[in-house]
Chains A and B, each alone.
Chain A
Amino acid sequence: MALLKREEWQGFVRDVDWSYRYVDDEAVYPEWHSGTGKVPREAWQAWEESYKVSYPEYVATQREKEAAAYAVKAALQRSATWDGLTEGWKSATKMHFGGVALAEFTGVLAELKMARFGLAGAWRNMAVFGQLDELRHAAITTFFGHEFIAKDPQYDWTQKTFHTNNWVAIALRNLFDAMMTASNVVDIALQLPLVFETGFTNLQFVALAADALAAGDVNFANMISSIQTDEARHSQQGGPTLEILVEHDPVRAQWVVDKAFWGSARALSALTGPAMDYYTPLEHRKQSYREFMEEWIIDQFVRTVEQYGLKKPWYWDEFLRGLDIWHHGLHMGLWFWRPTIWWRPMAAVSPDERAWLVEKYPNWEKIYGDKWDVIIDNVNSNNIEATLPETLPWLCSTCHLPACNATQSRDGTWRVRDVQLTYDGRIYHFCTNGCRQIFWKDRDNVNHETLIDRFLAGQIQPMDVGGILGYMGLTPDVMGDDPDYEAWTKDYAGRPAEGIASAVQS
């Protein structure tokens, strides 16, 4: 007997919704998990993925991917490739392992939620594959990072990061919990597959893979490329969900998409921006972070929202201006507060590197050059102490990242300005107007306390730098430090230096 073609049986086995006789629909698909809102229940039956796959096909393909990824890893394990990588590139991978490994596991939870509470059989079916994907991503990322612990204890943060109260971990937990754990499945499908996986994982997985290959890290490129091949399939849960939501509740669709895009852009500006524009060796940089954002995120995002009848987000101009600002400020913050991170950030501001930055970001010297020059002069005066923090940067009450976004005055000068609001008798500070607006609209939802909130509430003891580092789980063997001060300061040695810390204190 000939086998049926897939299209002849797939609908039958996939669309398994039936009418309940013993319970009502709300008991099976409660609103707080399923989130149909203003969308009529029956409208979800139109949910249809464009790229179909059966379970045997899925397993066969995934098996091949796994075998290929691990074969490359096994071959490279015997080589000395890792030893030849630059410290800057290693830092980019440490950031990735720590920031991503367990976020992938949160992705498992989000996909499982859609597999259970998704409002159409086709959707739930696709989410089952999605959760298997995410489980593979959590496993492969943890395993690949784990290999290097014996060589460098900072790689222990592959698994450890999200179990600590490190400020980067708090910022990412805040984003991913809102996007994946706390939302109903309709909002998850818009936030995770549509916004984050269709757009931003391209940046981290495709663009960074190119930098990895250029930097000679074939193993890392191999791992993230293997992961990315799954995204194209399960990320398609976003489109059909958005299509149905837009038809019945375009205001909600616009808000959820806008908010997820903003939160993703803020997080990636901390995670990917410094890796691309500073940690990747100059000769291996393919494009600037801004160029990658324009190519991989902005064009595609605008096409997607317009295709579904949505508008560009209300904050669009502020976001575009931020492409020249956000990640440069965060890079300086990560570097200055380097004892608080689990990698070794390269300052990467030698004359050649600065020339590249100015070519890519014409205002860079005007906004950041003077601050780096003071830091350089302190390093060249052997006053490293003056380049280390003695207080906390202020952390935004929405994105939990340092409030370090300069804006231009009418007279042309660049200044960091306070963005605040008072709610329920308390003042909150934000890094941007976008973060302020999101906080205001979501103000009655539960929000994580920032590290500043925790510090001021007395949760961190003793209330000093040592207490803060201990609270964040940092031990002397993993605390970040610049791997090579001389590399970016030597060309400035011997120049006259006025107004630096040693001069002030003498």
Chain B
Amino acid sequence: MTAEPGAEDLAPQLVPLNAIFATDFVQILVPVTTANTMREVAAAVAYHVEGKRVRALPYDKVVIYHGERLPAEMTVAAAGIKPLDHITVEYDTPEGS
């Protein structure tokens, strides 16, 4: 008897997200996959906005999901992010900046 495959064993699935980048004026559609890390998700969202409508800042970016900051190396599958879920991407600005 073989074990059920875990999320990491499955072929990456498309996960279309509702996303807002920082202070942007609009929510946008951003497709990612279950295999993407939060670093990649943040970059995918930023691609449409950073330097185009929101001025780029020299800081890392962080994905916020259900009010929680997710680790940069965590995957979409591991985070439990599902199609049509909402995320925000923020600059990880140092305290006091």
Chain A residues in the interface with B (C-beta under 8 A) = 329, 332-333, 336, 367-368, 370-371, 373-375, 378, 386-387, 389-394, 402-404, 406, 413-418, 420, 426-427, 429, 452, 455-456, 498-505
Contacts and interface: CB of A to CB of B under 8 A. Distances in A.
Given A333-B26, A393-B28, 12 more contacts: A332-B25, A332-B26, A371-B53, A373-B55, A374-B55, A387-B52, A392-B28, A393-B27, A418-B27, A429-B27, A429-B86, A501-B50
Interface of B: 16, 18, 20, 23-30, 47-48, 50-57, 82-86, 88
A434 B43 CA distance: 32
A19 to B, nearest CB: 55
A371 to B, nearest CB: 5
Given A416-B20, A426-B84, A386 B26 contact: no
A414 B22 CA distance: 10
Contacts of B53: 336, 371, 374-375
Given A394-B26, A429-B18, A420 B55 contact: no
22 contacts: A332-B25, A333-B26, A371-B23, A371-B24, A386-B52, A387-B52, A389-B48, A390-B48, A391-B29, A391-B30, A403-B27, A413-B23, A416-B24, A416-B25, A417-B20, A418-B20, A427-B85, A456-B16, A498-B56, A500-B56, A501-B50, A502-B51
B84 to A, nearest CB: 4
A49 B93 CA distance: 64
B55 A402 contact: no
Nearest to A418: B86
Which of B18, B51, B56, B88 has the most C-beta atoms of chain A within 10 angstroms of its own C-beta? B51
B13 to A, nearest CB: 13
B29 A392 contact: yes
Contacts of B28: 391-394
A461 B42 CA distance: 26
Which of B18, B27, B82, B88 has the most C-beta atoms of chain A within 10 angstroms of its own C-beta? B27
Contact of A374 (B52, B84, B85): B52
